[in-house]
Amino acid sequence: MKIVRFSTSSKTQYGILEGTSVNGLKTSPFEDGWNINNLKLDGSNYTLDKITLLTPCVPGKYIGIGINYKSSVIKSGRPAPETPIIFYKPPTAVIGTGAEIIFPLEQDAEVVYEGELGVVIGKKCKKVKQEDALIHVLGYTCANDVTDRIKFKVDKGNDVRAKGADTFGPIGPCISTDIDPGNVEIRTWLNGELRQQGNSSDMIFNVPFLIAYLSNFMTLLPGDVIATGTPAGNIMPVQPGDVVKVEIEGIGTLENTFVSHR
Ligand code: MG
C-alpha cells in the first residue's frame, strides 16, 4: 500500500495511491490505534494531475543518520562509526516532492544531495528491542538529505545550519508499507544522470538497530522520520536550476528542483 498526503483546492487529507489515482482516506493513518487493515476510504477519488502531493507525513522529529553505508566508509577511507552518528532537521526543513529547494543566500555555499531511505514511524515506541522494532513502522519513503558542506566545515561539524535550513529535508512521494528495508535499491539522479546507487543491505546500522538505538533514549512518535544515511556515489555540488531525483524501488521517485534564494 502507498499512502500519500495531498491537497485539493478545498482541503488537505491522506489517501491511498494506486497508479495515477488517489482514493481519499477518512482519517489520518497516524491516529492512535492505527491498524493498516482498518484504514477507511471516504469515497473520494482523484487523479494525480488534479491534486498536489505534500510531505507524506508531518514529522515532529526528522532524525538523520550520518556515515551509515559500508560503501561510503570504503570510499572515504575513514573508519566506520562504532555507534550511529545522529543529527536533526527541524520540521521547517521538510518539504514534499515537487516543492522547490531554496539555495542559500551565501555565495560560497557548497550544496549537495544525499539520496536516502526514510523510515516513517507509525506507532509510539520507547525502549523497543530490535526484534520488535519494525512493527512500529508505518512504512518507508524517499529522503534527500540536502547539506551545505561549507557551513558544515565552518561550523566545525555542528550541522544545524548545514542540514537544517528551510527546504533542506525533502521527503516523499508516498509512504510504502510493503518494502523490505533491509534490501532495496536506492538511486539518485542529478539532471537525469545517475549519481548514486546502493542497496540498503549495505547499511552499517540497519533499520531495526536504529529504531532500537534511538528509542532507547528518545521516544519516537507517529509521523517521525529517520533518514538512514546515503550510499557512496558521485555527489557533486548543485546549482540553482538543478533537478535531483531520489528513486527507491517499491516506493517511487522524490523529485525537487533547486532555486535561487528570494
Ligand atoms: Mg545523509
Per-residue model confidence as pLDDT tens digits over 222-250: 999 999 999 999 999 999 999 999 999 99
- In total, the chain counts a number of residues equal to 262
DSSP helix/strand/coil, 86: strand
DSSP helix/strand/coil, 144: strand
pLDDT exceeds cutoff 70 at 33: no
pLDDT exceeds cutoff 90 at 36: no
DSSP helix/strand/coil, 200: helix
Instruction: Specify the pTM.
Output: 0.97
CA of 64 to the centre of ligand 1 (A): 7
Q: Which of the four pLDDT bands, split at 50, 70 and 90, describes residue 259? A: very high
Cα–Cα dist 229/216, whole Å: 20
CA of 109 to the centre of ligand 1 (A): 17
CA of 90 to the centre of ligand 1 (A): 15
Q: Which of the four pLDDT bands, split at 50, 70 and 90, describes residue 196? A: very high
Query: Which grid coordinates belong to 52?
Result: 498536489
pLDDT exceeds cutoff 70 at 34: no
CA of 262 to the centre of ligand 1 (A): 26
Is residue 213 within 8 Å of 222, Cβ to Cβ?
no
CA of 232 to the centre of ligand 1 (A): 10
CA of 202 to the centre of ligand 1 (A): 14
CA of 49 to the centre of ligand 1 (A): 31
Q: Read off the pLDDT of residues 99-144 as tens digits, 9 standing for 90 and up.
A: 999 998 887 889 999 999 999 999 999 999 999 999 999 999 999 9
Q: Look up residue 257 and give its amino acid.
A: T
Is residue 146 within 8 Å of 67, Cβ to Cβ?
no
CA of 227 to the centre of ligand 1 (A): 7
Residue 8 burial class via C-beta count within 10 angstroms: exposed 0-12, middle 13-18, buried 19 and up: middle
Q: Give the closest residue to 143 by CA, choosing from 37, 262, 224, 52.
A: 224
Q: Read off the pLDDT of residues 46-67 as tens digits, 9 standing for 90 and up.
A: 999 999 999 999 999 999 999 9
CA of 19 to the centre of ligand 1 (A): 29
CA of 165 to the centre of ligand 1 (A): 14
Please list the residues that pair with 248 across neighbouring strands: 186, 252
Cα–Cα dist 86/226, whole Å: 10
CA of 62 to the centre of ligand 1 (A): 12
Cβ contacts of residue 27 below 8 Å, gap of 6+? Answer: 14, 39, 40
Cβ contacts of residue 207 below 8 Å, gap of 6+? Answer: 117, 119, 133, 134, 137, 181, 182, 200, 226, 228
Query: Which grid coordinates belong to 187?
Result: 538511486
Chain-wide mean pLDDT for the chain?
Answer: 95
User: What's the start-to-end Cα distance of the chain, in Å?
Assistant: 38
Cα–Cα dist 44/11, whole Å: 12
pLDDT exceeds cutoff 70 at 197: yes
